[in-house]
Chain A
Amino acid sequence: MKILVCISHVPDTTSKINFTENNSKFDKSGVQFVINPNDEFGLTRAIWFKEKNNATIDVINVGLQDTESTLRKALAIGADRAVRINHDPKDGLSVAKHISDYIKLNSYDLIIAGRESIDYNGGMVPGMISAFTDINFIDKCIDLKISGNNVEASREIEGGKENISTHLPLIIGGQKGLVEESDLRIPNMRGIMMARKKELLVIDSDEDYFATHSKDFEKPQPKGEVTIVQADEVEKLIDLLHNEAKAL
């Protein structure tokens, strides 16, 4: 089984979000970048398939050279090979088009992307890849079992889950539940050493396919002071929520 895991390179969850160049660009200075958490759950699930079903894992990113540290981390965790499409994507469509073109030339049985990236929160790349490649798609996937060509999967729905059976090839939008937090792997010394020897293929692209243009960013207004209510006066809180905030 050949697996491709899409890896988005995102600011660590504790990062301060600032912008430069007239608020038109995300300010990367001092920011620590990590594998998008939803992709890390998917990558870890892929490693289980590698260990139990003899799968091979390629990871892919559409980005400039600075994303290679994140791809190396994925190799250190256990992916076999990394691919970087050398292109600064303008939007989700641009990412999806590049990955789809790559998939059409290199067939995969399973493609794992994240439900959403925690930076731009597009939530669109896996669905777009499925439409470009005509590969079946399960979003918000929280369980995935594969035997031969048969797939048993679950997806999160509002207020519960839905159990689905289908076939490979498949693309999923993954999230926590594919594996648990405690299953995530921290790269060890041996993994890091091995990752240096693994292939990181760079493919140049001059294709410029996109649909939206990010003009600029704004930060939310700083919030006003909190109104403190004494612990023995909860009726005052109810009154404020009812009359002032109109939330009850």
Chain B
Amino acid sequence: MKILIFAETDENGNFKKDALEIASYASQVSSENGGSLIALSFNASEPERLSNYGVQKTINAKNQELNNFDPEIYSNCISEIFKSENCDLLVLSSSSNSKYIGGILSVKIDAGYVTNVISKPTMGDRISVQRNTFTNKAFENVEIMKSKVILAISKNSYGLKENQINSEAIETNFNISESRNKVKSVEKTSNKVTIADADIVVSGGRGLKGPENWHLIENLADILGGATACSKPVSDLGWRPHSEHVGQTGKPVSSNLYIAIGISGAIQHLAGVNSSKVKVVINTDPEAPFFKAADYGIVGDAFEVVPRLIDKLKEFKSSNG
């Protein structure tokens, strides 16, 4: 079995955590099934770094045109390498950009495509995997009926596993034609950690009473190096930007730690955060449904508990480096 991963980089050419996670995943699959693993990256500054995660060969494309994401150009380049290297399995992350091109790629290479994958594939006559479905309310076991396969791995479902090997990095250059989309501008809301990338997410609900109190959420997120998020009514009321709304109809969160403050825990909210590993709730109402979904809880007023938590975390951080 020959496996290709698409290893995404940030604007400085460093591999994203997602890229290292799918490398870890694919390297395990490859060693269990006697396969080989290659990676494709675009303008990576240190392509050889993937050897720490079990990648045998990294093909690093050097093209100016690949500095900014474009769905047509990216999917053309990836399918070209998949075909020329005679690969069987393509592993993608669940980043916005990878999900954008996953469907396109599956048609281009005539592959069976499965998203939100949370298990390693089991091999038999056909490859099977487990995935999240019904917005984290269930798991589905899926069998792939085609010989070529694309798996998009759910974030944080496998983790990073170092596995240093000897490997090579080679450079390539694509012939790139013009795209139909022209990117005019990019607006970043802040330089802070995004919900998708964060290990820790601090989220506020209607219990915080108004946008003027959001310094509590922001300060707590800052000290934890986490991202800020909110419940749907909070973004509907315009207290916070829509990009922070998490839940079934908003963003999914699969962080290591999710702290919910003044959020009741409605089923639509929980659906979006169920796949976070550890959940903490702070709420005045001991009957709030979030207490049934959380690992740790404090029954108390956010306006008293959160400042105290921030102070104690400062002490903790200074004594734990």
Residues of A within 8 A of B (CB): 11, 13-14, 17, 19, 26, 37-38, 92-93, 96, 118-128, 130-132, 136-140, 142, 152, 156-167, 176-177, 180-182, 210-220, 223-224, 226-232, 234-235, 237-238, 240-242, 245, 247-248
Contact = CB atoms under 8 A, between A and B. Distances in A.
B184 A165 contact: yes
B178 to A, nearest CB: 12
A241 B145 contact: no
Given A19-B138, A158-B197, A124 B183 contact: no
Interface of B: 71-72, 75, 95-97, 99-108, 111-116, 128, 130, 132-146, 180-190, 192, 194, 196-197, 200, 224, 232, 236, 242-243, 245, 248-250, 256-257, 267-268, 271, 274, 277-278, 280-281, 291-301, 304-305, 308-309, 312-313, 316, 320
Given A161-B243, A165-B182, A214-B141, 4 more contacts: A224-B295, A227-B295, A237-B309, A245-B295
Contacts of A234: 298, 305, 308-309, 312
B189 A159 contact: yes
B210 to A, nearest CB: 19
A215 B128 contact: yes
Nearest to A215: B141
A38, A120, A240 pick with most chain B CB within 10 angstroms: A120
B188 A226 contact: no
A177 B242 contact: yes
Contacts of B292: 223, 226
Contact of B180 (A13, A167, A210, A230): A167
B256 to A, nearest CB: 5
Contact of B142 (A138, A177, A212, A226): A212
Contacts of A219: 137-139
A231 B298 contact: yes
A121 B106 contact: no
Given A176-B242, A182-B236, A217-B133, A245 B296 contact: yes
B96 A126 contact: no
Contacts, number: 250
Contacts of B105: 131
A138 B69 CA distance: 12
A247 B295 CA distance: 12
B257 A241 contact: yes
16 contacts: A17-B138, A120-B134, A123-B102, A127-B71, A131-B104, A137-B104, A157-B96, A158-B95, A212-B143, A214-B143, A216-B140, A218-B139, A219-B138, A219-B139, A226-B296, A242-B320
A190 B119 CA distance: 50
A177 B232 CA distance: 13
A237 B311 CA distance: 13
B87 to A, nearest CB: 17
A235 B142 contact: no
B139 A217 contact: yes
Interchain residue pairs A-B with the least CB separation, the first 9: A127-B103, A231-B300, A131-B107, A211-B112, A160-B188, A124-B103, A159-B194, A247-B257, A139-B100
Contacts of B291: 226
A61 to B, nearest CB: 18
B237 to A, nearest CB: 10
B182 A166 contact: yes
Nearest to A157: B96
A195 to B, nearest CB: 25
Contacts of A121: 115-116, 132-135
A127 B115 contact: no
Given A14-B267, A241-B296, A248-B257, A163 B185 contact: yes
Contacts of A216: 140-141
**Looking at A166, A217, A224, which has the most chain B CB atoms within 10 Å of its CB?**
A217
A211 B146 contact: yes
A158 B196 contact: yes
Nearest to B101: A127
A219 B133 CA distance: 10
A124 B104 CA distance: 8
Contacts of B71: 127, 137, 139
A163 B184 contact: yes
B100 A217 contact: no
Contacts of A230: 298
Contact of B104 (A118, A122, A128, A237): A128
A139 B222 CA distance: 31
B144 A211 contact: yes
A241 B278 CA distance: 9
Contacts of A26: 134
B293 A223 contact: yes
Contacts of B138: 17, 19, 217-220
A63 to B, nearest CB: 17
